[in-house]
Amino acid sequence: MNESKAKRHTIYLLSLIFTLSLAFLLFDDQRFFAYENRYLQQLPSFSLDDLFAGQYTKKFEKYVTDQFPFRKNWLQVKGMGEFILGKAENNGVYFGNDLRLFERLTIDTTQWNENIDHLLEFNNWLTVTLPQTEFSISLIPTSSLIYPQALPVFTNDVTQQQTAISDAYIQLAPIETIDVIPSLQAHAQYDKSIFFTTDHHWTQLGAFYGYEQIVNTLGFSSLAHEFWTWQDVSYDFYGSYFSKASIPFYGPDTITAAFSPSQLTYINLNNYAIEPLYSENYLSLHDQYGYFLNGTPSFARITNDSIDSDQTLLLIKDSYSHVIAPLLAEHYASITLIDLRFFNQSLRDYIMSEQFDDILFLVGSTTFNTNMQLGKLMR
């Protein structure tokens, strides 16, 4: 009886191996996986040098993992398994209360402090070279700092991130720092839509609360919420946390956009093409957050022909800026947006040629926790 069972198990195992091997042969490799919003490892080229260095084996293992047949289904099975077993997270994402997902963020103190040093060095250059230009910094937190009551009880993410941001502002004291956290936390007492529940970004409403504090600090009077027409543009947004956690009953989120009565023009400065400020094409894709600023612009500009001003702003940004830039545009003749991770010109030369009135460095804390190539500030 035991021998019969062993034979059946062997047959099942061999059948599974055969089926998966056949699937690898029948299915074409995917280059981009929309569900996770990332590029997948391709079949690596073989070389003896890579083999002996151990690089070929690592790349091949990554290739098999990334190109595994029915990857999306396997991710969802794994996510459900972790949840059913009572685990608090899957793939670096916490299962929060109120059907809210959170990122597990561990501060890389070495990288964090290195980024602070780059900003201080840039400020020193700016103070000497263009003393009339105002330089400000704002670090946008993750949703765990805004909705800590929904986190699993054992986590220390809130304390660690709050301490890191507060310490950064102390070290950056020569620079104008704009802490939007208290305002976001105050509004979160009665508003659950400041951050998406399945994505790492703040919503445009959350950005509006940050906008109020930022523009008031920069010397403007913030516009009322009613200045814009707020409209729901999607009811089925599943963001980055959802893809990582792979729990099907979380979400979806609603995307709400603020439409301005002003005449705003959005220009891609890589090819000088006029593009939509809000792109409806992205609402049919998995990455619906790309609706704001038409994807992931590395070098772009918003002009406002309705404003009686010639003031200009340079916004050094990551994707957190995509929802706040259209709001800030109500106070400047033009806003130039640069993502240093993908910008290959000399930033100092560009700043010298443009002579911006204000420079605002605004990124999320998760981005600031990585090597976002701030060395380019001094290139």
Q: Tell me the per-residue pLDDT of 272-300, one tens digit each, with 9 for 90 and over.
A: 999 999 999 999 998 999 999 999 999 99
**Residues 218 and 322 reside in one and the same domain:** yes
Residue 23 has pLDDT above 60, yes or no: no
Whether residue 165 sits in one domain with residue 29: no
pLDDT at residue 37 is higher than 80: no
pLDDT at 54: 72
Query: Both 36 and 173 in a single domain?
Result: no
Residues 6+ apart with CB under 8 A from 35: 71, 72, 75, 243, 286
- Asked whether residue 78 is domain-assigned, the answer is yes
Indicate if 241 and 309 belong to the same structural domain: yes
Same-domain status, 89 and 119: no
In a domain, 102, yes or no: no
Q: Which of 72, 95, 118 finishes a domain?
A: 95
Quick check: 22 pLDDT over 80? no
In a domain, 201, yes or no: yes
Q: Is residue 103 part of a domain?
A: no
* Residue bearing tokens 């099975």: 77
Is 351 part of a structural domain of the chain? yes
Q: Which of 10-24, 112-126, 277-291, 348-362 has the lowest mean pLDDT?
A: 10-24
CA dist., res. 54 & res. 81, Å (int): 32
Give the tens place of pLDDT for each residue, 80-108. 656 666 678 888 899 998 889 999 999 99
What's the pLDDT at 87?
A: 77
Is the Cβ–Cβ distance between 232 and 254 less than 8 Å?
A: yes
Domain count, the chain: 2
* pLDDT tens track for 313-370: 999 999 999 999 999 999 999 999 999 999 999 999 999 999 999 999 999 999 999 9
Last residue within a domain, chosen from 95, 126, 143: 95
101 falls within a domain = no
One domain for residues 149 and 74: no
- Give the residue-averaged pLDDT of 134-152: 96
> Phi then psi for 227, rounded to 5 degrees?
-60, -35
Expressed as residue numbers, the domain containing 263 is 108-378
Question: Does 89 share its domain with 134?
Answer: no
- Packing angle of the helix pair 181-188, 204-217 (nearest 10 deg): 140
Phi, psi of 207 (to 5 degrees): -65, -35
pLDDT of 120 reads 98
Mean pLDDT score, 22-40: 57
For all residues of the chain together, what is the average pLDDT?
88
- Sequential DSSP letters for 152-200: -TT--HHHHHHHHHHHHHHHTTTSEE---HHHHHHHHTT-S-SB-SSSS
Residue type, 300: A
pLDDT of 3 strictly over 80:
no
Give a yes or no: residue 313 inside a domain.
yes
Q: What is the pLDDT of residue 248?
A: 80
Phi, psi at 199, each rounded to 5°: -140, 160
Query: Amino acid identity, residue 251?
Result: G
Whole-model pTM? 0.84
